[in-house]
Structure 1
């Protein structure tokens, strides 16, 4: 089974902690990627952390909108 949700984070990020709490409530498996020390990821996402991907596409950044995420998970299919 492929993980549909990926959360890009960095240590010490309070918005990242809030996003993780929301993702845990949603209950869908998710993967965390720490961008610190990865130049490409820091260049791509550095000022917008946390960034959430759904099925490999950017779903949002800074805040995870729980209702929107639940809706989009139910409407979209993996892949």
Structure 2
């Protein structure tokens, strides 16, 4: 799994999801992420993979791609229980 840097370091979103416009799997993933984050109190952020040529090259065939604490967690689908476990197992 890979890591992602998502900004200037002031972003407190623990979950980042790479999405793309018109992607039904992305919509499903964001719905799961939003629900889990609502219960854990964590923040999430969406990034349009097509907004950056390097992100598009790297993750094109995997969207939606989910990262937790900067490390790749899932792609294509988000498992609600697995995401909750990752967010509650703080290092």
Q: Common fold, TM-score beyond 0.5?
A: yes
Who is 1:66 aligned against?
A: 80
* Number of residue equivalences: 77
- Which segment is superposed worse, 36-45 or 50-59? 36-45
Who is 1:48 aligned against?
A: 62
Who is 1:6 aligned against?
A: 16
User: For the aligned residues, what is the CA RMSD?
Assistant: 1.2
- Which segment is superposed worse, 64-73 or 36-45? 36-45
TM-score of the superposition, structure 2-length normalised?
0.79
- What is the distance in 1 between the residues matched to 2:34 and 2:16? 13
Segments of 5+ residues of structure 1 without an aligned counterpart are none
Secondary structure of 2:72 counterpart: strand
Higher helix residue share: 2
Segments of 5+ residues of structure 2 without an aligned counterpart are 1-10
After TM superposition, where is structure 1 displaced by more than 3 Å over at least 4 residues in a row? none
